[in-house]
Structure 1
Amino acid sequence: MNMRPLLPLCTGLLLAGCATTKPRPAEPPPVAATGVASCDAYLSSYLACHRAAGIYPADQLQARYQAMRDTLLQASQSPQARPYLDARCRLLANQMSQNLQGRSCDAPIAARAR
Protein backbone atom coordinates (compact mmCIF):
# COMPACT_ATOMS: atom_id res chain seq x y z
CA MET A 1 0.00 0.00 0.00
CA ASN A 2 1.39 3.39 -1.01
CA MET A 3 1.28 5.89 1.92
CA ARG A 4 2.57 8.90 -0.03
CA PRO A 5 -0.88 10.40 -0.73
CA LEU A 6 -1.62 10.37 3.01
CA LEU A 7 1.57 12.25 3.92
CA PRO A 8 0.20 15.78 3.25
CA LEU A 9 -2.95 14.96 5.21
CA CYS A 10 -1.00 13.65 8.20
CA THR A 11 1.35 16.62 8.11
CA GLY A 12 -1.59 19.02 8.04
CA LEU A 13 -3.23 17.29 11.00
CA LEU A 14 -0.01 17.39 13.01
CA LEU A 15 0.49 21.07 12.31
CA ALA A 16 -3.11 21.86 13.17
CA GLY A 17 -2.73 20.01 16.46
CA CYS A 18 0.41 21.92 17.31
CA ALA A 19 -1.23 25.22 16.51
CA THR A 20 -3.93 24.69 19.10
CA THR A 21 -1.45 23.86 21.87
CA LYS A 22 0.65 26.98 21.37
CA PRO A 23 0.69 28.97 24.63
CA ARG A 24 -1.14 32.27 24.50
CA PRO A 25 0.50 35.47 25.65
CA ALA A 26 -0.59 36.70 29.06
CA GLU A 27 -3.58 38.99 28.82
CA PRO A 28 -4.60 41.60 31.37
CA PRO A 29 -7.57 40.58 33.48
CA PRO A 30 -10.84 41.80 32.03
CA VAL A 31 -12.39 44.80 33.70
CA ALA A 32 -15.78 43.99 35.15
CA ALA A 33 -18.36 46.23 33.52
CA THR A 34 -20.44 48.39 35.82
CA GLY A 35 -22.66 49.45 32.95
CA VAL A 36 -21.75 53.08 33.65
CA ALA A 37 -19.40 54.28 30.91
CA SER A 38 -17.45 56.74 33.07
CA CYS A 39 -16.87 54.06 35.73
CA ASP A 40 -15.82 51.43 33.21
CA ALA A 41 -13.36 53.90 31.66
CA TYR A 42 -11.98 54.82 35.09
CA LEU A 43 -11.50 51.18 36.06
CA SER A 44 -9.85 50.32 32.75
CA SER A 45 -7.20 53.00 33.28
CA TYR A 46 -6.94 52.73 37.09
CA LEU A 47 -3.78 50.63 37.37
CA ALA A 48 -1.78 52.41 34.67
CA CYS A 49 -2.77 55.90 35.79
CA HIS A 50 -2.21 55.28 39.49
CA ARG A 51 1.16 53.72 38.68
CA ALA A 52 2.08 56.72 36.52
CA ALA A 53 0.94 59.21 39.15
CA GLY A 54 2.79 57.37 41.93
CA ILE A 55 -0.13 57.81 44.33
CA TYR A 56 0.20 54.45 46.10
CA PRO A 57 3.19 52.20 46.72
CA ALA A 58 3.43 49.54 44.00
CA ASP A 59 2.81 46.71 46.48
CA GLN A 60 -0.58 48.24 47.45
CA LEU A 61 -1.83 49.09 43.98
CA GLN A 62 -3.54 45.80 43.07
CA ALA A 63 -5.38 45.58 46.41
CA ARG A 64 -6.57 49.17 46.08
CA TYR A 65 -7.75 48.50 42.53
CA GLN A 66 -9.71 45.44 43.72
CA ALA A 67 -11.32 47.46 46.51
CA MET A 68 -12.32 50.27 44.11
CA ARG A 69 -13.58 47.76 41.55
CA ASP A 70 -15.68 45.93 44.15
CA THR A 71 -17.08 49.21 45.50
CA LEU A 72 -18.08 50.48 42.05
CA LEU A 73 -19.59 47.13 41.05
CA GLN A 74 -21.62 47.02 44.25
CA ALA A 75 -22.79 50.62 43.75
CA SER A 76 -23.78 49.85 40.15
CA GLN A 77 -26.15 47.18 41.42
CA SER A 78 -27.74 49.40 44.07
CA PRO A 79 -30.85 51.32 42.98
CA GLN A 80 -30.02 54.00 45.57
CA ALA A 81 -26.37 54.50 44.52
CA ARG A 82 -26.52 53.94 40.76
CA PRO A 83 -28.02 57.36 39.86
CA TYR A 84 -24.97 59.05 41.44
CA LEU A 85 -22.35 56.72 40.01
CA ASP A 86 -21.64 58.60 36.78
CA ALA A 87 -20.88 61.82 38.68
CA ARG A 88 -18.74 59.93 41.20
CA CYS A 89 -16.63 58.26 38.50
CA ARG A 90 -16.23 61.52 36.60
CA LEU A 91 -14.97 63.11 39.81
CA LEU A 92 -12.55 60.22 40.40
CA ALA A 93 -11.24 60.53 36.83
CA ASN A 94 -10.85 64.30 37.24
CA GLN A 95 -8.90 63.82 40.47
CA MET A 96 -6.67 61.31 38.72
CA SER A 97 -6.06 63.74 35.89
CA GLN A 98 -5.04 66.42 38.39
CA ASN A 99 -2.66 64.00 40.12
CA LEU A 100 -1.05 63.14 36.79
CA GLN A 101 -0.30 66.85 36.22
CA GLY A 102 -0.43 66.48 32.45
CA ARG A 103 1.61 63.26 32.30
CA SER A 104 0.43 60.24 30.36
CA CYS A 105 -0.75 57.09 32.13
CA ASP A 106 1.76 55.20 29.97
CA ALA A 107 4.83 56.75 31.61
CA PRO A 108 5.35 55.88 35.29
CA ILE A 109 7.25 58.36 37.41
CA ALA A 110 9.78 57.51 40.07
CA ALA A 111 8.19 56.51 43.36
CA ARG A 112 7.55 59.45 45.62
CA ALA A 113 9.16 59.54 49.04
CA ARG A 114 6.67 58.61 51.69
Structure 2
Amino acid sequence: MIRGFIEHIYEYFVSRQCLHIPRHIAIIQDGNRRFAKKKGIATASGHRAGADRTEEVLEWAQELGIRHITLYTFSTENFNRTDEEVQNLFQLFKEKLSRICFDERVHKYGIRI
Protein backbone atom coordinates (compact mmCIF):
# COMPACT_ATOMS: atom_id res chain seq x y z
CA MET A 1 0.00 0.00 0.00
CA ILE A 2 2.59 2.60 1.03
CA ARG A 3 4.93 1.31 -1.67
CA GLY A 4 2.52 2.25 -4.43
CA PHE A 5 1.77 5.61 -2.85
CA ILE A 6 5.41 6.60 -2.38
CA GLU A 7 6.37 5.35 -5.83
CA HIS A 8 3.51 7.34 -7.31
CA ILE A 9 4.72 10.53 -5.61
CA TYR A 10 8.29 9.88 -6.72
CA GLU A 11 7.28 9.20 -10.32
CA TYR A 12 5.06 12.28 -10.36
CA PHE A 13 7.87 14.57 -9.24
CA VAL A 14 10.37 13.04 -11.61
CA SER A 15 8.06 12.96 -14.63
CA ARG A 16 6.85 16.50 -14.11
CA GLN A 17 10.26 17.82 -13.10
CA CYS A 18 8.44 19.82 -10.49
CA LEU A 19 9.71 23.23 -9.63
CA HIS A 20 8.49 22.94 -6.05
CA ILE A 21 9.98 20.01 -4.20
CA PRO A 22 9.16 19.94 -0.49
CA ARG A 23 12.04 20.81 1.82
CA HIS A 24 10.78 18.41 4.47
CA ILE A 25 8.85 15.15 4.46
CA ALA A 26 7.85 12.89 7.33
CA ILE A 27 7.51 9.14 7.10
CA ILE A 28 5.57 7.12 9.65
CA GLN A 29 6.34 3.45 9.30
CA ASP A 30 3.16 1.53 9.88
CA GLY A 31 1.63 -1.69 8.64
CA ASN A 32 4.68 -3.93 8.36
CA ARG A 33 3.10 -6.60 10.56
CA ARG A 34 -0.12 -6.45 8.54
CA PHE A 35 1.94 -6.70 5.35
CA ALA A 36 3.75 -9.77 6.71
CA LYS A 37 0.50 -11.42 7.77
CA LYS A 38 -1.10 -10.74 4.38
CA LYS A 39 1.93 -12.21 2.57
CA GLY A 40 2.16 -15.17 4.96
CA ILE A 41 5.69 -14.30 6.04
CA ALA A 42 7.29 -13.82 9.45
CA THR A 43 6.71 -10.51 11.22
CA ALA A 44 10.45 -9.86 11.25
CA SER A 45 10.49 -10.25 7.47
CA GLY A 46 7.70 -7.69 7.19
CA HIS A 47 9.68 -5.25 9.31
CA ARG A 48 12.78 -5.84 7.18
CA ALA A 49 10.80 -5.26 3.98
CA GLY A 50 9.54 -1.97 5.41
CA ALA A 51 13.05 -0.93 6.42
CA ASP A 52 14.41 -1.81 2.99
CA ARG A 53 11.67 0.23 1.33
CA THR A 54 12.43 3.14 3.64
CA GLU A 55 16.05 3.06 2.47
CA GLU A 56 14.82 3.34 -1.12
CA VAL A 57 12.58 6.26 -0.22
CA LEU A 58 15.50 8.02 1.49
CA GLU A 59 17.55 7.61 -1.68
CA TRP A 60 14.70 9.00 -3.79
CA ALA A 61 14.33 11.95 -1.45
CA GLN A 62 18.04 12.69 -1.73
CA GLU A 63 17.84 12.48 -5.53
CA LEU A 64 14.93 14.91 -5.51
CA GLY A 65 16.77 17.35 -3.26
CA ILE A 66 14.52 16.99 -0.23
CA ARG A 67 16.66 18.44 2.53
CA HIS A 68 14.93 17.23 5.71
CA ILE A 69 13.29 13.92 6.54
CA THR A 70 11.62 12.91 9.78
CA LEU A 71 11.39 9.16 10.20
CA TYR A 72 9.06 7.82 12.89
CA THR A 73 9.83 4.14 13.38
CA PHE A 74 8.86 3.17 16.91
CA SER A 75 6.26 4.36 19.38
CA THR A 76 6.09 3.66 23.09
CA GLU A 77 3.10 1.41 22.38
CA ASN A 78 5.46 -0.88 20.47
CA PHE A 79 6.95 -1.92 23.81
CA ASN A 80 3.69 -3.82 24.38
CA ARG A 81 4.64 -6.26 21.63
CA THR A 82 6.34 -9.56 22.39
CA ASP A 83 9.90 -9.40 23.68
CA GLU A 84 11.04 -11.26 20.57
CA GLU A 85 9.44 -8.72 18.23
CA VAL A 86 10.85 -5.75 20.16
CA GLN A 87 14.32 -7.34 20.15
CA ASN A 88 14.06 -8.01 16.41
CA LEU A 89 13.04 -4.40 15.80
CA PHE A 90 15.94 -3.00 17.81
CA GLN A 91 18.37 -5.33 16.05
CA LEU A 92 17.02 -4.08 12.72
CA PHE A 93 17.39 -0.45 13.87
CA LYS A 94 20.97 -1.12 14.93
CA GLU A 95 21.80 -2.78 11.61
CA LYS A 96 20.22 -0.09 9.44
CA LEU A 97 21.60 2.84 11.45
CA SER A 98 25.10 1.36 11.40
CA ARG A 99 24.87 0.95 7.66
CA ILE A 100 23.66 4.51 7.19
CA CYS A 101 26.26 5.99 9.55
CA PHE A 102 29.11 4.42 7.58
CA ASP A 103 27.65 5.24 4.16
CA GLU A 104 30.04 7.59 2.37
CA ARG A 105 27.11 9.71 1.14
CA VAL A 106 26.33 10.70 4.72
CA HIS A 107 29.71 12.37 4.98
CA LYS A 108 29.82 13.60 1.38
CA TYR A 109 26.49 15.43 1.64
CA GLY A 110 26.72 16.41 5.31
CA ILE A 111 23.71 14.34 6.30
CA ARG A 112 22.85 14.50 10.00
CA ILE A 113 21.20 11.56 11.68
TM-score (norm 1): 0.29
Of structures 1 and 2, the one with the larger relative CO (CA 8 A, separation 6+) is 1
Please identify which structure carries the higher strand content: 2
TM-score (norm 2): 0.29
Q: Which has the greater radius of gyration?
A: 1
